[in-house]
């Protein structure tokens, strides 16, 4: 029986996907569970598994094309199985957006009459399948470093090459001297004018999702903003003391911010809430979205049940989530369903900013850098380490007084940080 390969909805906000590459070609034998394609969603690059076995008889969408969720992109069937009606039905129902984007090479038309003969595999001694099975992260690292994946032995399931295999080979000492290279040409003198070009680039699936989500926020959601300044002296001293006692797993400033946020939300459940039509949902768990900047956009992995976790557990879990977010290795359950968010731009030397709420959450904290500045304490001017924080509030859920109470508790936690760990 023919098996459809469709553009599946691989995240809750995904409306369309971009086909990055086919892992098999027309005529190749495919077993159920084999990886047949790689897709760019709005959150991550994900692999598509064959739901049935047979031969990849037809590729309907070429690499580089962006198509809506549910679009038929390929057909797996037996060689003697008729698939003409299946292909014709897909062509009739395909929307215009199923065509490849302008930077993709369109597929040449193929007559649907004759079945495709599978190519005979050329197998090395002792091998039965010459197709390399490579994770998207491993493939990207190999491409960036100019590594021939044919020289890598996969340690993943079924001999799949994973990130650790590529990194191990890169870390191994070279066994042969590098080839002689011709002397490099003298660099051209720097131009006094920036090399600017007028161009239009297709937005990534992540950037498109961000655009859709934020249009739902800044217009319909009635924002208001609360800003306070926090003395970070004691918090930084505590961090230094804890890290001096630990052999690994250092506590970061962001970990302190997450812990303080979790404690404040637990004490002010009105800020850990969402607007739902004519009702307010108060969440029974504090699930904090951590804003992580990627080259192509922004993703918010979620630290689950943060109010019931200690500082070191928060640090460990947040470090893992952030690292896998940057490698685009998160699964949908790890980046959806936050009840509140934290965005920290302090590492970029930003003093203060306002963040846009990510619906259906009712609040987000925007954190600036910690700087030394003169302040008046007890009638005297002293130098202290200060940090400015702005809370964006959904006024349908959070009023000015309740938002200020939450922010006051958050500030008190950081200025008296022993409360967070005792």
Spell out the alpha helix ranges (H) of 222-328: 233-245, 253-267, 311-326
pLDDT digits (tens, 9 = 90+) for 249-277: 899 999 999 999 999 999 999 999 999 98
The tokens of 265 are what? 């939300």
**Per-residue b/e over 93-104, b at no fewer than 16 CB within 10 Å?**
ebeeebebeeeb
CA angle 320, 162, 323 (to 5 degrees): 15
Same domain, 99 and 226: no
Give yes or no for a contact between 326 and 206, defined as CB atoms under 8 angstroms apart.
no
Handedness of CA 17, 20, 25, 29 (dihedral sign): negative
Does any domain span residue 190?
A: no
- Within this chain, do residues 156 and 249 fall inside the same structural domain, yes or no? no
Q: What is the pLDDT of residue 278?
A: 85
Identify whether the C-beta of residue 286 lies closer than 8 Å to the C-beta of residue 307.
Answer: yes
Cα–Cα distances in angstroms (integers) from residue 416 to residues 229, 232, 301, in the given order: 14, 9, 28
Q: How confident is the model at residue 289 (pLDDT cuts 50, 70, 90)?
A: very high
In a domain, 213, yes or no: yes
* 223 in catalytic set: no
Q: Could you list the residue range(s) of the whole structural domain that residue 335 is in?
A: 205-421
Express as a percent the part of the chain with pLDDT over 90: 52
CATH of the domain at 260: 3.30.559.10
- Phi and psi torsions of 267, nearest 5°: -85, -15
| 60 & 149 share domain | no
Q: Which tens digits make up the pLDDT trace of 79-129? A: 888 888 888 877 665 554 444 333 333 333 333 333 433 333 333 333 344
| In contact, 77 and 28? CB cutoff 8 Å | no
The H-or-E segment that residue 375 falls in is strand 363-377
Question: Any idea what the CATH number is for the domain that residue 63 is in?
Answer: 2.40.50.100
* pLDDT beyond 70 at 361: yes
Give the CATH number for residue 147: 4.10.320.10
**137 and 284 assigned to the same domain:** no
Whether residue 175 has a cis bond before it, omega within 30° of 0: no
The least confident of 140-144, 285-289, 328-332, 408-412 is 140-144
> How many structural domains is the chain composed of?
3
In a 3-state reduction of DSSP, which class is residue 155?
coil
Question: Structure pTM?
Answer: 0.60
Query: Mapping DSSP to helix (H, G, I), strand (E, B) and coil, where does residue 271 land?
Result: helix
- 347 DSSP assignment: G
The answer to whether the CB of 19 falls within 8 A of the CB of 37 is yes
For residues 38 and 99, membership in a common domain is answered with yes
Task: Point out the catalytic residue in the list 223, 268, 283, 395.
Answer: 395
Does residue 141 share a domain with residue 210?
Answer: no
Q: What is the pLDDT of residues 197-217, one digit of tens each?
A: 667 777 788 888 877 777 777
What is the C-alpha R_g of the chain?
A: 27
Do 163 and 251 reside in the same domain of the chain? no
Domain identity same for 93 and 136: no
**Distance between CA atoms of 239 and 216, rounded to whole angstroms?**
38
| 112 and 136 inside one domain | no
pLDDT confidence tier of residue 350, bands split at 50, 70 and 90: very high
Burial class (CB in 10 A: 0-12, 13-18, 19+), 120: exposed
Residues 315 and 346 in one domain: yes
Confidence band, pLDDT 50/70/90 cuts, at residue 195? low
């Amino acid at each position: 029986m023919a098996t459809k390969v469709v553009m599946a909805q691989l995240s809750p906000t995904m409306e369309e996907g971009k086909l990055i590459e086919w892992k098999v070609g027309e005529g190749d034998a495919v077993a159920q569970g084999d990886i047949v394609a790689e897709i760019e969603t709005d959150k991550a690059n994900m692999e598509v598994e064959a739901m049935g076995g047979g031969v990849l008889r037809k590729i309907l969408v070429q690499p580089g094309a962006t198509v809506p969720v549910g679009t038929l992109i390929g057909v797996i069937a037996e060689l003697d199985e008729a698939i003409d009606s299946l292909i014709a039905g897909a062509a009739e129902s395909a929307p215009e957006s199923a065509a490849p984007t302008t930077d993709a090479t369109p597929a040449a038309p193929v007559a649907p009459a004759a079945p495709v003969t599978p190519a005979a595999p050329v197998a090395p001694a002792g091998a039965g399948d010459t197709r390399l099975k490579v994770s998207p992260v491993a493939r990207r690292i190999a491409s960036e470093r100019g590594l021939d994946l044919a020289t890598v032995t996969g340690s993943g399931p079924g001999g799949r090459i994973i990130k650790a295999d590529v990194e191990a080979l890169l870390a191994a000492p070279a066994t042969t001297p590098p080839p002689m290279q011709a002397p490099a040409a003298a660099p051209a003198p720097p131009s006094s004018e920036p090399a600017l070009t007028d161009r239009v680039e297709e937005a990534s699936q992540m950037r498109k999702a961000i655009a859709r989500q934020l249009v739902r926020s800044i217009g319909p959601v009635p924002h208001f903003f609360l800003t306070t300044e926090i003395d970070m002296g004691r918090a930084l001293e505590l961090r230094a003391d804890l890290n001096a006692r630990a052999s690994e797993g250092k506590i970061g400033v962001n970990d302190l911010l997450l812990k303080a946020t979790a404690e404040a939300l637990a004490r002010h459940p009105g800020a850990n809430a969402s607007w739902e039509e004519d009702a307010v949902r108060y969440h029974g768990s504090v699930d904090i979205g951590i804003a992580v900047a990627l080259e192509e956009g922004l993703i918010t992995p979620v630290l689950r049940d943060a109010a019931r976790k200690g500082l070191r557990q928060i640090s460990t879990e947040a470090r893992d989530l952030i690292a896998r977010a940057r490698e685009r290795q998160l699964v949908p359950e790890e980046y959806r369903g936050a009840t509140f968010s934290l965005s920290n731009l302090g590492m970029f030397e930003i003093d203060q900013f306002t963040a846009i709420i990510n619906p259906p959450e009712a609040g987000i904290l925007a954190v600036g850098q910690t700087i030394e500045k003169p302040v008046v304490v007890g009638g005297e001017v002293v130098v202290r380490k200060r940090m400015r924080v702005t809370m964006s509030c959904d006024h349908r859920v959070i009023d000015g007084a309740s938002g200020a109470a939450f922010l006051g508790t958050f500030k008190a936690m950081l200025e008296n940080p022993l409360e967070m760990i005792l």
